[in-house]
Structure 1
Amino acid sequence: MRIEGRDLPAADELRLRNVHVGVQRKAEVIDRVPVSAPSATWELDVAVREIDGLLDVGGPFVHGRPGARFLYLSWGNVDGTTFEMFRRAKLMFGDIPTALLRGAHEAGGVLVGELGLTDECGLPKCARVRPPDIVWTLR
């Protein structure tokens, strides 16, 4: 799976001065990208299994209970080696069209989520990010 982020918030518009966004693996935020970057891309290993005709996802990047699984993109200020999270975006697996998820599982394609990372106020995108704010494709 790949998450492709574009339109990061303008660093000079943020109150904090060293803001990064990364993907949350369990409790740790990894692969952090500064808001000064032109884009952010994360490659994630996600396991998919079929249970009673339904697909379920899992792995270290997947949070939530069956039927309500999601990924977190976490925003934080970096001070040395410390990442102080202040906001998160939630990408729900339930918002991915079933045919795309099944196609990635059965054909081995890469499921890609594309989204802008700035909200309508110019701040880091947070809360639940749903289509059309995220577009899912199979490549």
Structure 2
Amino acid sequence: MQLRIEANTLPGRTCHAGPDFPGASAIEVAVQRKDRPAELLDPQPGDAADARWAFDCTVTDAGELRGPYVQNRLGGRFVYLSWLGRRPDEETARMFRRAKLMLAEVPPGVLDEARRRGALVARLALTDAKGNPVCGRVVPPAVEWSAAEPS
């Protein structure tokens, strides 16, 4: 089965400084490979009109998704969207924030339909209420899950 992420409303190329964060520029976002934070799938600029990723995964008989981009930690299975950027006075970009698309929050009926049709789709906005990159656990209604045909 294909897992497809369709993101919109990206925050731009700058993340504002905060009390414990110096800010970041040249922001990009990508899907992180399982247990390999440096391996990123198709980084997209933070000011893109939209961003899309697609990759193969499997669904176990118990309804769990598995694959090279599906993480499995305490709290359940998820996909990391990793935000990269350069901090002031740094030349190399590094990860500064991540969002977790929580796969346990996919409604069972949607997962069943996705297995039948061939693709599970996550649609979400990537800008938080403060105008910065989304981070932390992402669950409905912040993400909409649906079934579709593979792309």
- For 1:20-31, list aligned pairs within 5 A: 20-26=28-34, 27=36, 28-31=39-42
1:98 to 2:108 alignment: yes
| Larger CA deviation: 35-44 vs 114-123 | 35-44
Is residue 2:27 matched to residue 1:19? yes
How many angstroms apart in 2 are the aligned matches of 1:125 and 1:32? 16
Contact 2:6 2:51 in 1 (8 A): yes
Cα offset, 1:63, TM superposition: 0.6
Q: Within 1, Cα distance between the matches of 2:74 and 2:108? A: 15
Note if contact 1:9-1:35 (Cα within 8 Å) is conserved in structure 2. Answer: yes
Paired AA for residue 104 in structure 2: G
Spell out structure 1 runs of 4+ moving beyond 4 A: none
- Please, which runs of 5 or more residues in structure 2 have no aligned partner? 17-22
Unmatched segments (≥5 aa) in structure 1:
none
Q: Tell me the distance in 1 between the aligned counterparts of 2:13 and 2:110.
A: 35
CA apart distance, 1:66: 8.8
Kept in 1, the 8 Å contact 2:84–2:97? The answer is: yes
Equivalent residue, structure 1, for 2:82: 74
Alignment counterpart, residue 40 of structure 1, candidates 38, 51, 55: 51
Q: In 2 relative to 1, CA 75–101 (structure 1 residues): closer, same or farther, beyond 3 Å?
A: same
SS in 2 for 1:99: helix
1:9 aligned residue (2, 8, 11):
11
Give the conservation status (yes or no) of the 8 Å contact 1:56–1:66: no
Deviation at 1:18, TM superposition (A): 0.8
Give the alignment's Cα RMSD to 1 decimal. Answer: 2.0
> Of 41, 63, 70, which aligns to 1:55?
63
CA contact (8 A) 2:14 2:27 kept: no
Q: Structure 1 residues 23, 123: closer, same or farther in 2, change over 3 A?
A: same
Distance 1:9 1:97 in 2: 28
Cα distance in 2, alignment partners of residues 91 and 6 from structure 1: 15
Q: Taking structure 1 as the reference length, what is the TM-score of the superposition?
A: 0.87
SS state at 2:71 partner: coil
**Worse overlay, 82-91 or 31-40:** 82-91
Following the alignment from structure 1 to structure 2, what is the Cα–Cα distance between the partners of residues 69 and 130?
A: 12
**Cα-to-partner distance string for 1:53-98 (whole Å, 9 max, x where unaligned):** x212111101115981110000011688x54000000011111001
